[in-house]
Amino acid sequence: MQGIGFYKSALALQNKYASGKKIDNILQTNGTLLNEEWCKFFAKNHFLIGISIDGPQDIHDSFRLNKAGKPTFEKVMNGIALLKKYKVEFNTLSVVNKLSEGRGGEIYHFLKNIGSHYMQFLPAVEHIVEIPGRKRAVIVPPEHEGAQQAPWSVSAKGYGEFLNDIFDIWVRNDVGQYFVQIFDSTLAQYCGVQPGLCSMNETCGEALIVEHNGDVYPCDHFVYPEYKLGNISEKSLREIYLNQKRFDFGMDKRSTLPRECLNCEYYTLCRGECPKHRFEAISADEGKRNALCDGFKLFFKHTRPSMKYLRDLLAAGRPAYDVIPWARTNF
């Protein structure tokens, strides 16, 4: 993590060059290095902090280890306590893995109890190869020779049921008080507005990633040499953004989908989801299907009545939380 001086310099440059524009500063961290100095700085400068925490201690400490292989849960919780002490706004990002299956409600209540009002749940679907001489397997793209799906990956059915378990609690109790990114994005699709989640857009490649050395990629899931767009020390960010390679990457999200997806009743909701997860072959002459497809179908089917009711509430100018009494009776 860069020292606090780096961020002070960044703020100074913002103040110098913003020209009246509003700049929001967001920092994603595992929380293990947060201390009083950092939290005072975040509070003073109105940073929003994203905390990576996967749930209760037994789930979190199964995969979130430090370089020495030691668990990190207690350090993360100490960091969250400091954020609360200094009234720093924070949200949470939780990776949904094999251990999360069947524990959606438990994880949701845990996150509520630690003070998270905005939650993201990212499915862990990774491929690995074993390399002689290395203690740990290496994460690789699914097309890599010898790649196998990682044993910690969440199953499609497990992910769909995980989301449904949380949704059932949320729609009956918490609408308007707690926010879950995929629920918000799904509702946005029903309302015909931008979903705010790149995986649910028709095309992608808009969220550029700048690495520590200045290399730029079209997505943080595709930081591989073949996807490199350029380097900000050699080209302007505008020039890199207008790169045909970036445009082609974004259009591939739609153009490489198999007919099964394009004809699916849920296509306008998921849009094929993230290309990173498309590695299930349908036929030799078709694109590959998303490995989480069956899980998303479970989620979209289960939530459809509530999403339609929410859409109609908003269209009538009523608050979203008016869905709660309806959901308790009808859902």
Which of 24, 165, 220, 252 does the annotation list as catalytic?
220
Q: ∠ CA 18-23-25 to the nearest 5 degrees?
A: 135
Q: Hey, what are 50's tokens?
A: 């994203």
pLDDT value, residue 31: 96
220 is catalytic: yes
User: Which residue blocks in 98-180 are alpha helix, DSSP H?
Assistant: 104-113, 156-173
Question: Backbone dihedral region of 214: left (phi > 0), alpha (psi from -120 to 50 degrees) or beta?
Answer: left
Q: What is the distance between the alpha carbons of residues 319 and 164, in angstroms, rounded to a whole number?
A: 22
pLDDT value, residue 1: 67
pLDDT value, residue 146: 83
Q: Where are the domains of the chain?
A: 89-330
pTM score of the predicted model: 0.93
pLDDT value, residue 284: 67
pLDDT value, residue 175: 99
Q: Give, in order, the Cα–Cα distances in Å from 180 to each of 94, 177, 184, 269, 298.
A: 11, 10, 6, 16, 17
Look up the CATH number of domain 89-330: 3.20.20.70
pLDDT value, residue 104: 98
Mean pLDDT in order along the chain per 10 residues (331 residues):
90 94 96 97 98 98 92 98 98 98 98 98 92 82 84 96 99 99 98 95 95 96 94 96 96 94 96 92 79 97 98 98 97 77
